[in-house]
Structure 1
Amino acid sequence: MNFSRRHFIGAVTGLASAAVLSACGSNSGGVETGSSASPSAGGSGKLVQWYHEYGEQGTKEAVQRYAKAFKGADVTVKWNLGTDYMTLLATTLLSGNGVPDVFESENGATLDMIQKGQVADLTDTLGDDASKFSKPVLDRMTYQGKVYALPQVVDMQMLYYRKSVLEKAKVDPPKTFADLVTAAKAVKTNAMGGFFAGNDGGLGVLANLLIWSAGYDQLNSDDTDLGFMESNFLDGVNAYRDFYASGALLPSASKDWFDGSPFINGETAMQWTGLWALGDIKKKWGDDFGVLPFPAIGSAGRQAVPFGAYGSCAAAKGSSNNLAVAKEFIKWLWLDQTDKQVDFANSYGTHIPAQPALVSQASQISSGPGKEAAEFVDKLGHASGLLWTSTISDAFNAALTNVVKKKANAQTEFAAVQKTAQSELKRIKK
């Protein structure tokens, strides 16, 4: 996984939305493919499909092969270079000029795309096959009961720990946040930190995990207010403040959280990072490591992991005027062509197929820690919701920073976030 996609999944869990991967208008071209089917009425017999730039070698050639194999239309793949893909996509959809018929979008269509009628409803396209997808992942691509994207491939984050180091310190792998603090203190030495989650002390990447692991959701059931203004959450934030100041949390390392190097180099006994680091970690430590979800916080808590998944969307008004075939192509590629889905997840980096039944076919995650990671997503996965806007996220992150770093009062800080959220949700709900 390249930096852009790491940044994307970091943003999913709490980094400011402005830091998320978006779009650069560069185009490396595409591939014209043969067609053996007649175009739909009024359509051109052609489709244009957009991808952001994947960093893994061979991905571009793979998606071109997939497009060429489709017999329903000539599919041209546009490979968008740079780190501003989502900005380019939003601008193009808004302008109505050069709109791709099929495109990938971070965690599926955005609220703006849905409310402006820029994306097609794929509920009927998916039909009864919805159960084939990981429920948390598909739920993230669903709004008000309608599916607006089919998941392509899943990335996620988790906690890596050195088995031998914890065993030597006579502590068990942490299942609760209190266990994590205890273990980090027990394994810390002058040469090795106890736990590392980023050069900001973990405040960016772990922010929303403090909500989910405390047992709450970002918003309440009717999306009118925050869903976590309870004592268990506030106590958890205060507990993280104490952990931050304890010395057991490694405050900085040679690389940031998204790079597995601190764990690989022995700078820390435990690290929060992504599935993408699994291969390098396995090469270094063999069987001497394990993986865990983020531990449960407090008596109402639950274990949790964050995920990010690009979803394939159909433009309501694509340039080729071929919506029926665009839907057919999405279904063909991301539901029916399971061999291509396994190839996409397994051959170019380490990822999880969006259909859990395919995990056993992906050799990198068919057993051991990789298989555990896939199960974490299906059972414990979370992603920021469609209505968790940058305004709310920024206010939340600022409050968390004030509590942890400046020792501000948690109740006061998050009460201010609540007012911001109530106003923002009233503005955006339609």
Structure 2
Amino acid sequence: MTISRRALLAAGAGAGLLTACGANTGRDDGGSGPRLSHWYHQYGEPGTERAVQRYAAAFKKARVSVQWRPGNYDQQTAAALLTDSGPDVFEVNGPTLDQIQQGQVVELTDLLAGVRDDFNPAVLGPMTYEGKVYGIPQVVDMQLLYYRKSLLRDAGVEPPATLDALIDAAARLTDGETKGLFLGNDGGAGVLGGTPLRAAGFDLVTADGAAGFDDPAAARTLGKLRRLYAGKSLLLGAPADWSDPSAFVQGLTAMQWCGLWALPRVREELGDDFGVLPFPADGARGRPAVPVGAYGAAVSARSGHREPAKEYVKWLWVERTDFQTDFALSYGFHIPARLSLAAKAGRLRTGPAADAVRFAADHGYAQPLLWTPAARTAYQDALSRIIKDGADPARELRAVVAKVTAELKRVRRVKKPS
């Protein structure tokens, strides 16, 4: 299986598994100035590799060599950042907190002078530490809820705006042939992540660096997901999992949690007979929630050409808005990271695509930088036990809060090298 940009949105999965492919040197002639190496992970969308080679060839102040990296990209880059033979510029699902605190990546704040507010804050936030930017977002991917208009209309069901309404709609839309809702073959335990907590009005980590869900209302929200799983309205055991819209377009489910990448196929199969929604709000302090993610461009602190590398990153991901729009929409279906580009992109201006852009801007959230792998694993394990095993949500969340609190204390003690 080839993994595309959607993989970074799988809860707790980071950039996901990458299949092997041959490295490509892009070009190493033409231009002038120093040689720069630019690493990318392998994309599943056809044409992406040639596109980034074309971008690199257009930069005339350095000779940029594009490398399409095989194998486990995250492990490769983590190891390469410790050596002098790694990339000058690299694509990253981050950078991670460890990479920033250990001084492995170069601060890029100055590259966004005058345009910082034009970048979607939900994806720029996780690339920012103590007010300083360490990665430039490239595109935005997002998850959202697809619903079949005709099936809802025939059942007299309104598009659900609350979690309780979603549970009720799923039950009313279930019949002998069609289930009401598909959240993945595990009932949403793997993909939903912190989205239900966000929809209930809670953050994974608060602005002052504390666990943001130490509240009985958070446990009640997760308990509702168990109700869905234990009932008869969730599709389980579909031929393809949540990231593939097959179950939705084939009529196996009236609603499906999926990603923006699926929208062109859904539109091709169903025409105008579908709409999209954010994850619905829950409780008195609830709000719609849309998980978003973005790969970013970063500069290695071990690069021998830091300033030219920074200039190249600024040129490609800040100044060349034509390349940014091309990268987002010509190879797969994604949202440009800059709000102004997303607003005027022709393919994103009408119908469900325009709704998705609005949801990403108004309700988008990403896993915070301080949400460490240990914290994420503790929460994901608890969420799985709650949904699939019926474990007590309050007890499970208390244990997660304790783990997250310990993690936050640990990372605050780590200081970035001067």
Common fold: TM-score over 0.5: yes
2:89–2:299: 8 Å Cα contact kept in structure 1? yes
Partner of 1:268: 253
74, 97, 107: which is aligned to 1:86? 74
The structure-2 alpha-carbon separation of the partners of 1:31 and 1:243, relative to structure 1 and needing over 3 Å to count, comes to same
85, 90, 98: which is aligned to 2:85? 98
260, 271, 290: which is aligned to 1:305? 290
Tell me, in whole angstroms, the C-alpha distance in 1 between the residues paired with 2:112 and 2:206. Answer: 28
Please tell me the residue identity of whatever aligns with 1:309: A
Partner of 2:376: 393
Please tell me the residue identity of whatever aligns with 2:5: R
Name the SS for the 1:128 alignment partner: coil
* TM-score, with length taken from structure 1: 0.92
Partner of 1:367: 350
Matches for 1:26-425 after TM superposition, within 5 Å: 26-36=22-32, 39=33, 45-82=34-71, 84-94=72-82, 96-106=83-93, 108-223=94-209, 225-318=210-303, 321-425=304-408
1:342–1:361: 8 Å Cα contact kept in structure 2? no
* TM-score, with length taken from structure 2: 0.95
Stretch of structure 1 that moved more, 255-264 or 238-247? 238-247
Please tell me the residue identity of whatever aligns with 2:300: A
Same amino acid, percent of matched pairs:
46
Tell me, in whole angstroms, the C-alpha distance in 1 between the residues paired with 2:118 and 2:348. Answer: 18
Cα offset for 1:266? Answer: 0.5
Partner of 1:42: none
Unaligned runs of 5+ in 2: none
Tell me, in whole angstroms, the C-alpha distance in 2 between the residues paired with 1:35 and 1:119. Answer: 26
Please tell me the residue identity of whatever aligns with 2:405: Q
Q: Deviations over 1:8-35 (max 9, x none)?
A: 211xxx3455x83469695233212422
Please tell me the residue identity of whatever aligns with 2:134: Y
Q: Deviations over 1:373-409 (max 9, x none)?
A: 1121111111111221221111112222222222222
Stretch of structure 1 that moved more, 206-215 or 418-427? 418-427
1:212–1:302: 8 Å Cα contact kept in structure 2? yes
Q: CA RMSD in A?
A: 1.8
Cα offset for 1:138? Answer: 1.3
1:276–1:350: 8 Å Cα contact kept in structure 2? yes
Please tell me the residue identity of whatever aligns with 1:389: T
The structure-2 alpha-carbon separation of the partners of 1:111 and 1:26, relative to structure 1 and needing over 3 Å to count, comes to farther
Tell me, in whole angstroms, the C-alpha distance in 1 between the residues paired with 2:105 and 2:55. Answer: 22
1:213–1:296: 8 Å Cα contact kept in structure 2? yes
Name the SS for the 1:413 alignment partner: helix
Partner of 1:9: 9
Cα offset for 1:421? Answer: 1.4
Unaligned runs of 5+ in 1: 40-44
Q: Deviations over 1:80-133 (max 9, x none)?
A: 123x11110001112x13121111101x31111101111111111211210121
Q: Deviations over 1:191-248 (max 9, x none)?
A: 101000101011111121111111111013322x310111221111111111211211
Cα offset for 1:420? Answer: 1.3
Q: Deviations over 1:50-90 (max 9, x none)?
A: 111111111111111111111111111111123x1111000
Name the SS for the 1:32 alignment partner: coil
Please tell me the residue identity of whatever aligns with 2:87: P
Aligned residues: 413
Please tell me the residue identity of whatever aligns with 1:422: T
9, 16, 20: which is aligned to 1:20? 16
Please tell me the residue identity of whatever aligns with 2:276: V
Please tell me the residue identity of whatever aligns with 1:31: R
Cα offset for 1:157? Answer: 0.7
Tell me, in whole angstroms, the C-alpha distance in 2 between the residues paired with 1:69 and 1:97. Answer: 26
Name the SS for the 1:47 alignment partner: strand
Tell me, in whole angstroms, the C-alpha distance in 1 between the residues paired with 2:394 and 2:342. Answer: 43
Tell me, in whole angstroms, the C-alpha distance in 2 between the residues paired with 1:30 and 1:56. Answer: 18
Cα offset for 1:361? Answer: 4.6
Q: Does residue 1:427 correspond to 2:410, yes or no?
A: yes
Tell me, in whole angstroms, the C-alpha distance in 1 between the residues paired with 2:404 and 2:216. Answer: 19
Stretch of structure 1 that moved more, 284-293 or 362-371? 362-371
Name the SS for the 2:114 alignment partner: helix
The structure-2 alpha-carbon separation of the partners of 1:119 and 1:22, relative to structure 1 and needing over 3 Å to count, comes to farther
1:16–1:390: 8 Å Cα contact kept in structure 2? no
